[in-house]
Amino acid sequence: MIADFPPALIMILGALLVPLLRGRVRAAYLLALPVVSFGHLLSLPHGESAPLGLFGYELTVVRIDALSLLFGYLFHLAALIGLIYALRVRSAAEQSAALVYAGGAIGAVFAGDLITLFVFWEILAVSSVFLIWARKTERSYRAGMRYLIVQLASGMILFAGIVLNAHETGSIAFDAAHLGLNGTGTLLIFIALGIKGVFPLLHNWATDAYPEATVTGAVFLSAFTTKVAVYALARGFPGAEIGGVRVLILLGAAMAAFPIFYAVIENDLRRVLVYSMINQIGFMMVGIGIGTELAINGAVSHAFNDVLFKGLLFMSMGAVLYRTGKIKGSELGGLYKSMPVTTVLCMIGAASISAFPLFSGFVSKSMVMSAALKEGYGWVWLVLLFASAGVFHHAGIKIPFFAFFAHDSGLRCKEAPRNMLIAMGIAAAFCMFNGMFPNALLYRLLPYEVDYIPYTSTHVISQLQLLFFSALCFTWLKHSGLYPPELRSVNLDSDWIYRRLLPGVATVVKRFGTGLRDRAEGLTERALRGALSGVYRHHGPEGVLARSWATGSSVIWVCILLLLCLIVYYR
Amino acid sequence: MKPGSSEEQHLFDNPRNVRRLLRGLFTVCAALILLDVINFLLHEFTGFLWLHREEGPFEWLPGYYAVYGFVACALLVLIAKELRKVLMRDEDYYDR
């Protein structure tokens, strides 16, 4: 029975007790949950377990194999780091929401069928919105609402896809053999995954809502939702084709290249991080789209590293926000004086996302790029190389530079609290460990045999040239005054469609509709009035048909009628 | 640092340290270019292939990665700067 217990439920059910505990007991309990859950996961046998019958379908609540395990381990680690980071959060609701959210993500990656996936998909959506609302501002409330609507829409599309697919094929299996882009049902599933997976133009819920979340909430958010989508696409749609085109390669290349332009001009540093998150997911999508063993290995190992270094960057920016109350590049600067440890940890994250040799991005990102070349996608490789230089530029340099260096903003604050430093330290340690010893842990977890050596002199030198000349370019642009300054602003993105265009259209339609209604009303009223006054004229008190007639005139009319009869019938 | 404050001097308050950092960056860049030159000469005169750059488009060109990194960043920033003219709005654009 223990062997059948879904690992996700430990954190989800465990969250119920959080409000009852206080102080150190609660802290210990919070940290114990992911550890217990992880221990339970280690004890589970590979394969499918926890079968459950529902509506005549056989559900597989737990499926354990290399791919799901990698994400399972990763999410436990991310939950533990996030909980350490969030230990000072007082709100039991926020901590419970974070636990349920992490549990939902774990449940989704171990889901062995589409219906189970759907259930955890919805748990992810509903629990995560509380991490945004917990900020308790009008802005965060509205952003959370928009976020929730998009997430629930993704859930509905997923459900529609599952139902259609089950109707077409009779299967609810969640694997590449039964999915792939071959019908309306699977296409809907693909789009639903794509919404959470921040596909181009479906991405804006993330850039809109994540920066409005609480300091700690954004750390959890950055780890789970999008990576669950990456897992689900890697599971169900590797190398998926429409008309012979591997669509995920195109989508991934667009995701890697476009958001970095926004990242350069964005002022809110946590929003910059969301744009760079989309850019990194772009690399993963390209890997999944190529679909070879090397490419899939690259995609999921990059997902593993990304959760850690992106989490680290979100944590360091969160610490800045926590201590100074500010997060805009235009208001920050010079914080290395007040927060030296946070500065160093942030730079480790920056080096990792930029794929510096000895840091984690270096050993995973290049796998995807290498796979692109091997499969003959030279132009994709060029785009990814551009994106690599770009990510160094905005996440590697811009984030640490404008927060911790640049001009001195005059802000003086305390170093980040100890629990935040510990959480960042653990993430930084993993970033460096995976970068230096990829064979020790990361490559062992990958779903396919690894036949890839990241540390060749060619790769190291080429990458260093790319990065250092990007840095040189930044220096030149900054020095010559060509670099765009950080400005208080918002930049229009696809959320403009539903925040401005659609409400605008609705207003116009409403105005047009009201006009039409008023006209119709006027016309009807006039017609009715005309009809009524006609009736009144003929039948009213003075009307022709309502008059009383004199007896004499009646006699005359009767006489005339009789006379007519006589003439007609006279033969 | 604010003028007149009695705070201790920090690392980059001293312009000499900033210059040192920049000099370090230029030196590393020069050294990296030198490696490409060595690779090129080795291949020309001894036929020995040190750096294996035969898969990517244009990758074999000496200095390819350096130029690509520099140009990519310059384009990225300058195009993004132009995009501001189209995309940028006041901070309270959506709140109005």
DSSP string, A46-57: SEEEEEEEETTE
User: Is residue B2 a part of any domain in this protein?
Assistant: no
Cβ-based contacts of A385 with chain B (< 8 Å): 56, 68, 72
For residue range A168-215, list pLDDT tens digits in order: 888 898 998 888 888 899 999 999 999 999 999 999 999 999 999 999
Contact B51 A378 (CB under 8 A): no
- Could you say which of A410, A462, A489 has the minimum Cβ distance to residue B88? A489
What residues have CB less than 8 Å from B23, skipping those under 6 apart? none
| CA angle at A394 for the pair A390 and A398, rounded to the nearest 5° | 145
Q: Which among A427, A421, A342 has a CA at the least distance from the CA of A87?
A: A421
In angstroms, rounded to a whole number, what is the distance separating the alpha carbons of residues A251 and A205?
Answer: 17
Q: What is the pLDDT of residue B3?
A: 45
User: Is residue B1 a part of any domain in this protein?
Assistant: no
pLDDT value at B2 more than 60: no
For residue range A13-31, list pLDDT tens digits in order: 999 999 999 889 999 999 9
What residues have CB less than 8 Å from A323, skipping those under 6 apart? A338, A339, A413, A414, A415, A416
Do A101 and A129 touch, CB atoms closer than 8 A? no
Query: How much is the mean pLDDT over chain A?
Result: 92
Q: What is the pLDDT of residue B11?
A: 81
User: Is residue B3 a part of any domain in this protein?
Assistant: no
Cβ-based contacts of B79 with chain A (< 8 Å): 261
Is A472 near chain B, with CB under 8 Å? yes
In angstroms, rounded to a whole number, what is the distance separating the alpha carbons of residues A396 and A315?
Answer: 15
Is A512 near chain B, with CB under 8 Å? no
In angstroms, rounded to a whole number, what is the distance separating the alpha carbons of residues A211 and A196?
Answer: 16
Q: Which among A67, A75, A55 has a CA at the least distance from the CA of A116?
A: A55
Q: What is the pLDDT of residue B4?
A: 42
Domain, as residue range, for B62: 11-87
Tell which A residues from 133 to 162 touch B, by Cβ distance under 8 Å: 139
* Lowest-confidence region among A141-145, A318-322, A478-482, B5-9: B5-9
Q: What is the pLDDT of residue B7?
A: 61
Tell which A residues from 264 to 283 touch B, by Cβ distance under 8 Å: 264-265
Band of pLDDT at residue B1, cut at 50, 70 and 90: very low
In angstroms, rounded to a whole number, what is the distance separating the alpha carbons of residues A47 and A500?
Answer: 49
Contact B25 A456 (CB under 8 A): no
Cβ-based contacts of A209 with chain B (< 8 Å): none
Q: What is the pLDDT of residue A486?
A: 81
- Which range, A271-275, A449-453, A477-481, B91-95, is most confident? A271-275
User: Is residue B55 a part of any domain in this protein?
Assistant: yes
What residues have CB less than 8 Å from A26, skipping those under 6 apart? A18, A92, A95
Q: What is the pLDDT of residue A487?
A: 83
The total number of structural domains in chain B stands at: 1
Give the residue-averaged pLDDT of A37-59. Answer: 84
Helix or strand holding residue A291 (H, E): none
| Crossing angle for the helix pair A378-391 and A247-257, to the nearest 10 degrees | 30
In angstroms, rounded to a whole number, what is the distance separating the alpha carbons of residues A90 and A110?
Answer: 31
pLDDT value at B5 more than 60: no
- Could you say which of B10, B67, B89 has the minimum Cβ distance to residue A490? B89
Helices (H) and strands (E) in chain A, counts: 24, 5
In angstroms, rounded to a whole number, what is the distance separating the alpha carbons of residues A141 and A189?
Answer: 29
For residue range B29-64, list pLDDT tens digits in order: 999 999 999 988 998 898 888 888 878 888 888 889
What residues have CB less than 8 Å from A125, skipping those under 6 apart? A148, A151, A152, A154, A155
Do A16 and A97 touch, CB atoms closer than 8 A? no
For residue range A462-489, list pLDDT tens digits in order: 999 999 999 999 999 988 888 888 888 8
| pTM for the full predicted model | 0.88
Query: How much is the mean pLDDT over chain B?
Result: 85
Q: What is the pLDDT of residue A534?
A: 87
* Lowest-confidence region among A150-159, A220-229, A254-263, B8-17: B8-17
Band of pLDDT at residue A2, cut at 50, 70 and 90: low
Do A351 and B34 touch, CB atoms closer than 8 A? no
Do A256 and A299 touch, CB atoms closer than 8 A? no
Tell which A residues from 372 to 391 touch B, by Cβ distance under 8 Å: 373-374, 378-379, 381-382, 385-386, 389-390
Residue in the block written with tokens 């100074």: A324
In angstroms, rounded to a whole number, what is the distance separating the alpha carbons of residues A9 and A252?
Answer: 33
